[in-house]
């Protein structure tokens, strides 16, 4: 059985790697910056091994509860530093450390020659450590600390090439927008602070996550400690924080701009860390959500709207990383919609499969950038001839994203679609049906933009890469834009290919190992991952029966496959069969294309209307008027009063003894009168 020290080491190893890279290698041995990369990889390799050990112990039903370390006491409530180990934690640990390890190995090749190599690895280590700390946290204050550390780390990584104005702006945008969502999360925590005495009276701690779960259970103390409207608002506050991190509408605009960071950073953010944190947060507090139909309805509807809304923008993007960014937002919408429908285990299952195929897609994007020098698909084409491994791996990942059987993405997406159709959750039937229709539409759109991306990147003839792009734009290359400098039409080095191959194998096999019913023949229970996660949730709720799992449905698999193939067929007909040259055929849609390509003017709404007009002109104007007319006026009034009272008092300073004696006499008389009256 795994020990407490071993679990703490999963967090401490990447944290130690950060300290080593930031405080030892970078300031004193920067000439040997490769050491920081190798140190990070070694630390994460050990962390992955310990994570797998933890998952094994949890699968074998070992008791993994440990005594927390007392930290602070506030209003009778204790804040501890502790570990919460359950099926959700153990699965997330493997996902985070596994994807991060492969990304760091890939980075050895991608970031080779960068002047800030050791700084890059120090930031990546801190980012991974923060996510692991978040996953392991046993109380909400500890979780919130790591939650904000994830935000700070993402700011540093998105703005890694801070000398580029676009990167600096993207980092600030991500930091500010996610902070908006975090306000809701903080308000939820502050509400729990106000309830500390009520929790203590019931023998609970307002900050312990397990106790927060218990407080919402109707069976607890003959009635929920937190219920009704308070429970709903608590859940929505938590969801606000999750919406910011996971890019849910309307807090999604930062995520595509985050592509300004190095591509491995994008892979880590979009696959296993920051955006996954939002889904994890809702899943972690799912015992709270499921007792509020209103909160669950909001989560489901926001999720499905985000899934379709973001997918539509992926249709018209020309930057390969932005296509994947909107794909991530869309898939996160799938996960949130599933959680809103009560499909806890399928949502986490999809998070796991998404981590594998989305990491592979982003690493593939870095690989094609390594060859072409650009991320603009309009200047790629024909790369399958010179990059056959990258082509096959990205095709496998793309088909998994689309949901083609038997790849990993099919099994998780199919469970979500089946659960939405059956509508077994607490929300209304109409919510389930609307969600199902939206998700099916999302499958069609996802299939179209994914195959469009594959065709524009790998098929046809090569269209010049960064050299042609700069010639067309007649401008100098912006700093950091062509990180690898110019066009190198060749397969990526093996240090970059190897992690992609591992992820490719995972994408192929993960679905078989996790879900298909015939897997029992080789000793693995069918639906083991959804059953494993579902049983963990049942235990959290104080129930002991096995969680219900969704059986494989051939008709639902047929519906989802037909939807996916229709999108694939349309993309092939438009972009491959017709051999399109010049303008994108979608531009013929005119104003509709303009509307989508300009992201529904959401950035304009935020920047011009809300920030410049609303904040600067109205709010800041009101504050400025108040400052000039009230604050400054009050200060001026005080100054005028004391200046003039000084002049008035000064008139009594005549130097005449008679005047002073008269003043004293009147003063004494006033005192006597006051005493008599009293």
Residues 497 and 491: beta-carbon distance below 8 Å: yes
Alpha helices in 383-527 (DSSP H): 388-402, 408-422, 429-458, 465-473, 494-514
* Strand, helix or coil for residue 319: strand
pLDDT cut 70: percent of the chain above it: 90
pLDDT winner (highest mean) among 442-456, 483-497, 606-620 = 442-456
What is the average pLDDT across 257-261? 86
In whole angstroms, what is the distance from residue 55 CA to residue 63 CA? 12
Cβ atoms within 10 Å, residue 538:
16
The three-point CA angle 513-339-520 to 5° equals 20
Produce one character per residue of 220-253: b if its CB has 16 or more CB atoms within 10 Å, e if not. Answer: beeebbbbeeebbbbbbbbbbbbbbbbbbbebbb
What's the confidence (pLDDT) of residue 516? 54
What's the confidence (pLDDT) of residue 536? 80
Q: For residues 128 and 476, which has the higher predicted lDDT (pLDDT)? A: 128
Could you give the maximum distance between any two Cα atoms of the chain, in Å? 117
Specify the range with the lowest mean pLDDT, choosing from 48-57, 146-155, 324-333, 549-558: 549-558
Report whether pLDDT(509) > 90.
no
Classify strands 77-81 and 69-74 as parallel, antiparallel or unpaired. antiparallel
> What 8-state DSSP symbol labels residue 403?
T
**How large is the C-alpha radius of gyration of the chain?**
30
pLDDT (tens digit per residue) in 518-545? 555 555 556 678 888 887 888 777 665 5
Report whether pLDDT(153) > 60.
yes
What is the average pLDDT across 261-266? 89
Ramachandran area for residue 52 (φ above 0: left; ψ -120 to 50: alpha; else beta): alpha
pLDDT cut 90: percent of the chain above it: 44
Kindly state the tokens that stand for 94. 């493997």
What's the confidence (pLDDT) of residue 478? 46
What is the average pLDDT across 252-260? 86
pLDDT (tens digit per residue) in 122-146? 999 999 999 999 999 999 999 999 9
Compute the mean pLDDT over every residue in the chain, rounded to the nearest whole number.
86
Terminal Cα distance for the chain, rounded: 83
- Our CA dihedral for 9, 136, 325, 320, rounded to 10 degrees, sits at 20
What's the confidence (pLDDT) of residue 78? 78
Residues 87 and 56: beta-carbon distance below 8 Å: no
């Amino acid at each position: 059985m795994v020990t407490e020290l071993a679990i703490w080491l999963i967090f401490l190893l990447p944290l130690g790697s950060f300290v080593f890279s930031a405080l030892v290698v970078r300031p004193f041995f920067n000439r040997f910056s490769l050491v920081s990369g190798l140190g990070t990889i070694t630390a994460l390799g050990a962390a992955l091994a310990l994570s797998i050990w933890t998952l094994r112990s949890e699968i074998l039903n070992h008791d993994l509860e440990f005594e927390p370390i007392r930290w602070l006491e506030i209003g009778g409530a204790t804040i501890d530093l502790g570990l919460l180990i359950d099926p959700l934690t153990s699965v997330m640990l493997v996902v985070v450390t596994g994807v991060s390890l492969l990304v760091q190995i890939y980075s050895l090749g991608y970031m080779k020659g960068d002047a800030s190599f050791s700084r890059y690895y120090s930031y990546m280590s801190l980012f991974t450590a923060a996510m692991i700390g978040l996953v392991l946290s046993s109380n909400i204050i500890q979780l919130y600390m790591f939650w904000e550390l994830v935000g700070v780390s993402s700011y540093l990584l998105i703005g890694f090439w801070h000398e580029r104005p676009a990167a600096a702006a993207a980092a600030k945008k991500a930091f500010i927008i996610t902070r908006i969502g975090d306000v809701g999360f903080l308000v939820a925590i502050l509400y729990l602070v106000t309830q500390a005495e009520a929790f203590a009276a019931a023998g609970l701690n307002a900050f312990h996550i397990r106790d927060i779960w218990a407080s919402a259970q109707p069976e607890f103390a003959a009635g929920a400690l937190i219920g009704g409207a308070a429970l709903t608002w608590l859940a929505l506050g938590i969801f606000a924080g999750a919406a910011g991190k996971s890019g849910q509408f309307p807090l999604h605009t930062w995520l595509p701009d985050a592509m300004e960071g190095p591509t491995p950073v994008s892979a880590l953010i979009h696959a296993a860390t920051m955006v996954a944190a939002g889904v994890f947060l809702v899943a972690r507090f799912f015992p709270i959500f499921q007792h509020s139909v209103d909160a669950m309805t909001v989560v489901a509807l926001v999720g499905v709207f985000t899934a379709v809304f973001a997918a539509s923008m992926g249709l018209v993007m020309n930057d390969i990383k932005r296509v994947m960014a909107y794909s991530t937002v869309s898939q996160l919408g799938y996960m949130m919609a599933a959680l809103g429908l009560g499909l806890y285990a399928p949502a986490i299952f999809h998070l796991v499969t998404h981590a594998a195929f989305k990491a592979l897609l982003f690493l593939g994007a870095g690989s094609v950038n390594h060859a072409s020098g650009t991320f603009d698909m309009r200047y790629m084409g024909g790369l399958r001839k010179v990059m056959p491994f990258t082509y096959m791996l990205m095709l496998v990942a793309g088909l998994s994203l689309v949901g083609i059987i038997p790849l990993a993405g099919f099994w998780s997406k199919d469970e979500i679609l089946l659960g939405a159709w059956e509508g077994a959750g607490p929300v209304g039937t109409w919510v389930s049906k609307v969600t199902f229709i939206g998700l099916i539409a999302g499958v069609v759109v996802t299939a179209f933009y994914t195959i469009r991306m594959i065709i524009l990147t790998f098929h046809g003839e090569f269209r010049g890469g960064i050299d042609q792009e700069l010639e067309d734009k007649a401008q100098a290359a912006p700093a950091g834009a062509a990180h690898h400098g110019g066009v190198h039409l060749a397969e990526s080095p093996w240090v970059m290919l190897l992690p992609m191959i591992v992820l490719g194998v995972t994408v192929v096999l993960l679905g078989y190992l996790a879900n298909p019913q015939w897997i029992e023949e080789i000793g693995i229970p069918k639906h083991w991952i959804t059953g494993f996660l579902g049983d963990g949730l049942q235990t959290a709720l104080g129930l002991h029966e096995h969680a219900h799992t969704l059986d494989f449905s051939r008709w639902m698999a047929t519906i989802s496959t037909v939807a996916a193939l229709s999108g694939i067929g349309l993309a092939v007909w438009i972009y491959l069969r017709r051999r399109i040259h010049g303008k994108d055929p979608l531009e013929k849609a005119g104003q509709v294309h303009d509307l989508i390509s300009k992201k529904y003017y959401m950035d304009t709404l935020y920047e011009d209307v809300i920030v410049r007009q609303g904040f600067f002109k109205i709010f800041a104007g009101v504050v400025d008027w108040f400052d000039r007319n009230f604050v400054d006026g009050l200060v001026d009034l005080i100054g005028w009063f004391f200046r003039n009272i000084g002049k008035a008092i000064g008139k009594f300073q005549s130097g005449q003894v008679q005047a002073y004696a008269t003043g004293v006499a009147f003063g004494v008389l006033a005192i006597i009168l006051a005493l008599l009256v009293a």
